[in-house]
Each structure stands twice: as C-alpha cells, then as structure tokens.
Chain A
Amino acid sequence: MSGPEAAGNGPLIHRRYVFGLLLRLCVTFAGGVGILFVILYFALSRPLPGDYAGVFHALRNLSPFLRPILAVSVLVYALLACGSTSALCVYILHKVAGPLYRMELVLDQYRSGAPTRTVSFRSGDQIQPLAQAFNLWIGTLRRDRQRWLATMKDAERHCLQDEATCRAEMEEALRKVAEDMARYH
C-alpha cells in the first residue's frame, strides 16, 4: 500500500530511538561510575607509611577514615548520575512528550470549534502515526461534510423550478444526508 495510510502504519517508536536512549544511558552511568572510581582512587592511592608498625596502624584506622569519603563519593556519583539522567530524560523523552502536548493542544482547539490545521510533528519526533491517524479522521470528516453540503446545494438548484419540486428534492437530499450520517455511531 502507498500514500498516507502506509506511512501511518510506521512504528510508533523507532528501534533506533530506543537504542540511542539505551546507549546514552550506558554512557551516562559509565561516566558516573568512572567519577566514583576516580574519587575512590585518589582517596585510596595515598602511599602508606614505610615502616611495619606505621602500615599496621594506617590499615587499622583506614576503614573509619574511608567511611565519610565513601559516603561523599557515592553521594557525588548519585547527584551527577541523577542530574545527567534527568537532563537525558528531558531531552530524549521530549520526542514523545512534545508531540503528546501538541496533540492535546490540537484536540482542545478542535473541541473549541476553532479551525483545525493538519497536524505534523517535527522531524525526529516519535509517535508520528498519531498525527497521521488524526489527520485521517479530520480528513474523512471534512470529505463527508463537503459531500453533505454538496447534496444539499444540489437540491437547492431545483428551487429554480417550481416550489413543490424544490421541496421534494430538498427532502430527498435530507434523507440522503441522514442515511449517510448513519455510518457514524
């Protein structure tokens, strides 16, 4: 099948987008772990005292000394990872949240009775079939509307003849329109 219907059957969320998100998450988490490693490396890599007793006492006292360093480094990791992941979520998920927001505006506009334009999302946005399905629905409604108006206009042409023919044609047109509208349920 070709044309808009085929385009409307595209994936809601592209596999590439999901892989891109996973890859960025991987890089973000790896960066966070890397920072955690660097902090702990600098805390642990200080040379121990040269003599035997000095090393013994240093090792005995290392655990209580390391505890706050460990806590702070984990906190720094958590803050950095959370910050960068939040930024990533806002940037990447915007490709879904943006079109949803736009569709909500269009639906509100449609319900208020204001003229509705064809919806198109930005390139790179996901959930494209949503816009295509909405356009298909509005397009069908507009075609039906034009057909109903054309049927009524056609009946009005007979008003150039006598009154009875005009009325009969108008009533016939109304029956046609009502019959046509029956498909909506």
Chain B
Amino acid sequence: MRNSALQPPRSRIRYVSPRFQGPAVLAFAAIIATGGAIFWKLVDSEFQRVFLHTAIRGHYAFDSAYDIVRDLLARHLAGLFVGVFLTGSVLVLLLVAATRHGIGKAVDSLRASADGDLSTPTGTGPIGEFDRFGKKIDAARSDTLASVLKIRSEAAALAAGGISPEEFRLRWDELKQRIRRIAP
C-alpha cells in the first residue's frame, strides 16, 4: 500500500500571475478599446455623410443600405483589424524583448554566481515583475555570500592558531555544520 505521508507534496499549478499577465491583458484591452473607439468615430461620421449624400443624389440602384457602404465598411473593418493586430504584435514583441532582457540578466547573474561572483547586482531592469525577481535572486546570492564569508573568516581565525584544543574542536565541528548548511 502506498503511504501518502511519504509522497512529496505536489506543487500547485498557478495559471494566473496578476503581476505578470495583468499588465499585458490591460495593454491588449486598451489597444482593442482604442481601435474600437476610432472605428466607431470614423464609421459613424462616414455613414452620416454617405447616406445623406446618397439620399440627395437620387438614382437609387440598390436594395439595402449595406450595398451603399459595402466598400467603406470593408475598408474600415480591414483598417481596424490591421491596426489592432499590428499594435498588438508590437506589444507582443515588446513583451518578448522585455522578458528576454530581464530573464537574460537573471540567467547571466546565476551563471556568474556559479563562477563565484555573488556580489554584482543582477540588474534585471525597471520592469516591475522582473525587477522583483532580480531582487529575489540577488537576495539568495547575498545570503550565500554572507554565509561563505562568515565560514571563511572563521576558518582563517581557526587556522591562525592560539586556541585551546577543546575550543578548537568545538569550533571545528561548528564550522563543519555551517558548511553543511550551504546549498542544502
């Protein structure tokens, strides 16, 4: 029988990260709303002009109002689609560039940490979520550096001698415990 107490806890999958996805959703909504408002303003004024002009001109060779504004409507709908899609694409590319820059800096920082550099700031940039993430990485690196420096100074102090054998043994064991706590 499987013991559920021995099973490692399954990490909960969180699909929504308001700090990261929220601004992107708001930006897309702003683009769509702006596109819609421009479309409404343009088409409304064009409809008013075109229908009035057609009514005065006479020669009604059409069955419905749609026949009058077919081309105009198609042009404006195409304009709405192209405008919103192009602006949305630029936003996607900006998001990708910001992610590449922010996470790229975090990756560089972790690689530098593997080479021993635990003090150079990550510098993920001013974008909220990445800045916060960079600070978390820096905090982890800073903790590690503080721990290593403490162990190093203790090791140097012990190596310098002049300590009684009992105290030396005690501090030696303590030092081993501290080393064991690095990257548990």
A residues in contact (CB < 8 Å) with B: 8, 12-13, 18, 21-22, 25-26, 29-30, 32-33, 36-37, 40-41, 44-48, 52, 55-56, 58-60, 62-63, 66-67, 70-71, 74-75, 77-78, 81-82, 85-86, 89-91, 93-94, 96-98, 100-105, 107-108, 110-111, 113-116, 126-127, 129-130, 133-134, 136-142, 144-145, 148-149, 152, 163, 167, 170-172, 174-175, 177-178, 181-185
Contact = CB atoms under 8 A, between A and B. Distances in A.
Nearest to B171: A174
B155 A178 contact: yes
B155 A181 contact: yes
Given A74-B36, A90-B21, A97-B17, A145 B179 contact: yes
A82 B55 contact: no
B176 to A, nearest CB: 6
A60 B114 contact: no
A62 B180 CA distance: 82
Contacts of A32: 32
B158 to A, nearest CB: 5
A127 B99 contact: yes
Interface of B: 11, 13-17, 20-21, 24-25, 28-29, 32-33, 36-37, 39-40, 43-44, 47-48, 51-52, 54-55, 58, 60, 62-66, 68-69, 73, 77, 80-81, 84-85, 88-89, 92-93, 95-96, 99-100, 103-104, 106-107, 110-111, 113-114, 116-119, 129, 133, 136-137, 139-140, 143-145, 148-149, 151-152, 155-156, 158-159, 161, 165, 168, 172, 175-176, 179-184
Query: What secondary structure prevails in chain B residues at the interface with A?
Result: helix
Given A59-B65, A71-B40, A110-B140, A22 B73 contact: no
Contacts of A78: 32-33, 36
Contacts of A56: 55, 58, 60
Given A12-B104, A107-B136, A182-B152, A149 B92 contact: no
Contacts of B158: 170-171, 174
A103 B77 CA distance: 43
Closest 7 CB pairs of A and B: A59-B55, A133-B110, A141-B183, A97-B17, A44-B66, A174-B159, A183-B116
A43 to B, nearest CB: 8
11 contacts: A13-B100, A37-B77, A48-B62, A60-B51, A81-B32, A85-B88, A90-B25, A100-B20, A110-B183, A133-B107, A138-B183
B87 to A, nearest CB: 10
A89 B54 contact: no
A55 B107 contact: no
Nearest to A91: B15
A142 B184 CA distance: 8
Given A41-B66, A102-B11, A174-B156, A29 B81 contact: yes
